[in-house]
Amino acid sequence: MSSFDVSSIGKPPLIGPRAKRRHVRSLTGDFPEVDEKGQEKWPRGDEKSWKAALRDIHAEVPEITKSVVTHVQTSLGRAPYNIDDFGAYQAAALSVRDNLIVNWNATQVEYTRKSPKRAYYLSLEFLMGRTLSNALLNLGLLDNYSSSLSSLGFGLEDVLVQERDAALGNGGLGRLAACYLDSSATQELPVWGYGLRYKYGIFQQLIKSDDGTQLEAPDPWLDHQNPWELPRLDVTYEVRFYGHAQRWGEESTGRATWSGGQEVLAVAYDVMIPGYGTKSTNNLRLWESKPKRGFDLQSFNAGNYERAVEASNSAACNHILGKELRLKQQYFWTAASLADMMRRFKNLEKPISEFAEYNAIQLNDTHPTLAIVELMRILLDDEELSWDSAWSIVTNTFFFTNHTVLPEALEKWSVPLMEHLLPRHMQIIFDIVTVEKKFPGDRDRLSRLSLIEEGFPKQVRMANLAVVGSKKVNGVAELHSDLVKKNLFPDFVEFYGKSKFGNVTNGITPRRWLDQCNPALSALITDTLKLDRVTAGRTVKHQNKERLALFVERQLGVKVDANAMFDVQIKRLHEYKRQTLNILGVIHRYLLIKNMTPEEREKVVKKVVFFAGKACPCMCVPFLLTIRLIVNVARVINSDLDTNKYLSLFFLPDYSVSLAEILIPASDISQHISTAGTEASGTSNMKFCLNGGLLVGTVDGANIEIAEEVGEDNVFFFGHLTPDVEDLRYQHTYHPIPVEQKCPALAHVLDTVSSGIFGGDGVYEPLLNTVRQGDFYILTDDFDAYIRSLEMVDEAYADRAEWIKKSIRTTAKMGKFSSDRAIQDYAQEYWNIESIKL
Ligand code: OAK
């Protein structure tokens, strides 16, 4: 993978007039166009290979070329000479898919034959990114397809970048789910994912050129045929909403009949998940909603239904969807998934009492918590089990992972809404509450433990429900798991005992996040004969920086100095992640350099700062201004001829998995600077380190464990620790100290922004005021330490040989953060499942 064409990363494939111009002929199926001299014109000037492939289609041509050409003709319905890079991508993808299907079938047959205990990963988000490159790597077919495509006149890289990212989610939790699927297949574990087949992925982010504001456009990722999924039009389930729940008999925890309302069809789409170096190929089953034919038209409110279907088709952030639609989406997905699991279990012809011995269900945060109630409903109403038997099965089947301690992310559903949409489920939740009253303790404790929060309206606390209904609960890094116990669920820990609460530190797949995005470094690691690793490591990093520089030049038309230090912060934009701290730090650096003499400037470490990330448009207004500030600061400092040689800044729009794959290998230093105690884990920190980038960060999330592995001297820590944060917030409220007094350097930066040198005409004041007043994320307390840590980064970077050694040591010590380890932790300590060898 040497000359990586980055020009169309994250871009939709070429369609429309421009694409047509690249065809030799339009899609008429005619033979090649003839030029002025009567010569046939063939794409890529490679007439011979196409003709040979056509002629020898049934003879001894390499299998791969044969299969690609066949797909061009039979699946795409095109004459083979009549395709562009996108057509070549489609044909290659279909050809690779053939391999996947064979392995996928073999795997599923083996699972059926051996009837092992299976684990199901329920996640509302799966950020899969591109598939072709990953499938080729995992199948060990990269070189073969590269040769085959090249014999047909196509470069592998040109073909790979045609694929559009599957971006069915927002951020960390969704990408983690994708890494875990890769590792489950690689470890040959019988794990399936269940999610939603959104019609639109996470919005495409556009940055308005005049004022830097973020605009959101839909991501119609399915506009072209998606080669990576198999529609299973025969696998459908009916999912009910609304209606009435009628209890049977007197007993409050007994059976009921739920009838009436609306029914929607859930249709399955299967996505094959290949393991690395194994035939084992797992399944990600995504549900699409379809109207049910012939149902009660009178109770069908067409307008609402359309809206519901449309909304359930968007992977937009939480708050965009109306509450009811979001709840509908969650129930639709969990009900279809459970019906599917139940059908599979029934095929085993085992007694229902053994359900938990054959099934483990992992809840990826609280979004799938309704699955707990749905399984209760099935066991009580359909299987006619007693409450205690049903509850015992449920609480041995589910496992719950929490992914955030931010109170605003803890889901709650209004009781009246639940009663309206899911009347039977609300009954069951009330029944759990009744049973739960057995909890001893005082009234306050009982109310904290309760699944129902008092108020107008009353609310169902989904996190409490997930804890009560699960066998085990875990956080995603050591510190976070401690906070889950101490701050989120202390009463539950006291009630159930500590053993119910654990930790599984997150992991990332080294396939995508090293082999695929950084093949040169991957090769260097496996090359045991290489003597001068420092020089080689430096060369690899430099090549990756040049690749990023080329990308920026093509995207933004600006040249970037690959000899400068590359400093990267890429993640969802959120106040707690403190992109604001970073941009205020950049301004500070700019002002320092601006005030230097030319001689002093020559001693400055040259730096290019990169930001990328999407901001959920429903976030608070001040914070949305951060992107605007970054873009406008970039405009000023990149055009300042005094300083731009020493400091430049870029906001790369439309952050995606594919963009991360270019940015991460190119980073010298990356920023993970959340307020201590707020970032559950972070996983990009692991990706940067694996690629030999060093971290500047707070003592938070997985940063801590990374430092334990790579050594504290290889991480640039700064800032107040978690236990200080509450005290500082208290001080801010009751004994505020003006920023001018507490942190003059920051006050100067804030005043500079207010002065209007970055434009905006006062527009940034709401953002600046969140720092000057309130300062919930303690920027004024951490700013000085942050600047000092960046100075230490400069000093360390000045000794380039030592820096590269740090970088190599960091890469070498990242074994713990492989998702293979993480998934084994889940498999052994939680799900109790074993590998199935094919
Ligand atoms: C998203 C929605 C609701 C709750 C949590 C999230 C989420 O994305 N959390 C992130 O999960 C990652 C994977 O565990 C962590 O690395 C991030 O720190 C966390 O913010």
CATH code: domain of residue 353: 3.40.50.2000
Residue 24 has pLDDT above 70, yes or no: no
- Residue 50 backbone phi and psi in degrees, to 5: -65, -45
Write the residue with the smallest CA distance to atom 12 of ligand 1: 172
State the Cα–Cα distance between residues 768 and 750, nearest whole angstrom: 7
pLDDT at residue number 838:
86
Ligand 1: nearest atom to the Cα of 174: 8
299 and 442 assigned to the same domain = yes
> Residue 315 — very low, low, confident or very high, per pLDDT cuts 50/70/90?
low
Q: Which two tokens stand for residue 47?
A: 């007439």
Is 107 domain-assigned?
no
pLDDT in tens, 119-140: 999 999 999 999 999 999 999 9
Write the residue with the smallest CA distance to atom 7 of ligand 1: 173
495 and 524 assigned to the same domain = no
Check if 403 has its Cβ closer than 6 Å to any atom of ligand 1: yes
Is 708 domain-assigned?
yes
Among 144-148, 530-534, 671-675, 790-794, the minimum mean pLDDT is found in 530-534
pLDDT at residue number 52:
59
pLDDT at residue number 30:
33
The answer to whether the CB of 144 falls within 8 A of the CB of 200 is no
502 and 526 assigned to the same domain = no
Average pLDDT (605-614) is 98
The conformation of residue 382, written as its DSSP 8-state character, comes to I
Is 362 domain-assigned?
yes
500 and 524 assigned to the same domain = no
Q: Which of 173, 179, 412 to mutate to test the pocket of ligand 1 (most atoms within 8 A of CB)?
A: 173
3 state SS of 72: helix
pLDDT at residue number 618:
78
pLDDT in tens, 510-543: 999 999 999 999 999 888 777 788 899 999 999 9
661 and 596 assigned to the same domain = yes
Check if 404 has its Cβ closer than 6 Å to any atom of ligand 1: yes
Is 99 domain-assigned?
no
- Residue 478 backbone phi and psi in degrees, to 5: -55, -50
Check if 679 has its Cβ closer than 6 Å to any atom of ligand 1: yes
* This prediction's pTM: 0.92
What number of helices (H) and strands (E) belong to the chain? 35, 24
Q: Which two tokens stand for residue 766?
A: 């709401």
pLDDT at residue number 816:
98
pLDDT in tens, 289-303: 999 865 444 433 433
Is 518 domain-assigned?
yes
pLDDT in tens, 740-792: 999 999 999 999 999 999 987 899 999 999 999 999 999 999 999 999 999 99
Cα dist. 390→334, 379, 397, 511 in Å?
A: 18, 6, 11, 41
721 and 769 assigned to the same domain = yes
Cα dist. 87→28, 43, 69, 132, 562 in Å?
A: 15, 12, 11, 14, 34
- Residue 633 backbone phi and psi in degrees, to 5: -65, -40
Check if 506 has its Cβ closer than 6 Å to any atom of ligand 1: yes
Cα dist. 759→385, 633, 651, 755 in Å?
A: 67, 9, 17, 9
* Closest among 29, 124, 562 to 315, alpha carbons compared: 124
Residue 62 has pLDDT above 80, yes or no: no
| Residue 173 CA to ligand 1 centre (angstroms) | 4
| Residue 468 CA to ligand 1 centre (angstroms) | 21
- Rounded-to-5 percentages of helix, strand, coil across the chain: 50, 15, 35
Is 590 domain-assigned?
yes
Paired residues of 399 in beta bridges: 362, 472
451 and 524 assigned to the same domain = no
State the Cα–Cα distance between residues 768 and 521, nearest whole angstrom: 42
For 382, the domain range is: 115-129+165-506+823-831
664 and 549 assigned to the same domain = yes
Ligand 1: nearest atom to the Cα of 680: 18
Is 460 domain-assigned?
yes
3 state SS of 494: helix
Average pLDDT (471-497) is 96
450 and 521 assigned to the same domain = no
pLDDT at residue number 45:
40
Q: Which of 123, 319, 404 to mutate to test the pocket of ligand 1 (most atoms within 8 A of CB)?
A: 404
- Strand pairing report for 715-718 and 694-698: parallel
Q: Which two tokens stand for residue 449?
A: 């433990």
Ligand 1: nearest atom to the Cα of 318: 2
| Residue 499 CA to ligand 1 centre (angstroms) | 23
| Residue 89 CA to ligand 1 centre (angstroms) | 33
500 and 537 assigned to the same domain = no
668 and 690 assigned to the same domain = yes
| Residue 172 CA to ligand 1 centre (angstroms) | 5
Residues assigned a catalytic role:
403, 571-572, 577, 683, 687
DSSP-H helix ranges across 348-489: 355-358, 370-377, 387-397, 415-421, 423-436, 443-449, 462-468, 478-483
pLDDT at residue number 156:
96
Q: Which two tokens stand for residue 614?
A: 């999407």
| Residue 241 CA to ligand 1 centre (angstroms) | 29
State the Cα–Cα distance between residues 24 and 34, nearest whole angstrom: 10
Question: What are the E-state strand segments in 94-200?
Answer: 118-122, 126-129, 166-168, 191-196
Q: Which of 401, 403, 410, 706 to mutate to test the pocket of ligand 1 (most atoms within 8 A of CB)?
A: 403
765 and 737 assigned to the same domain = yes
The answer to whether the CB of 475 falls within 8 A of the CB of 484 is yes
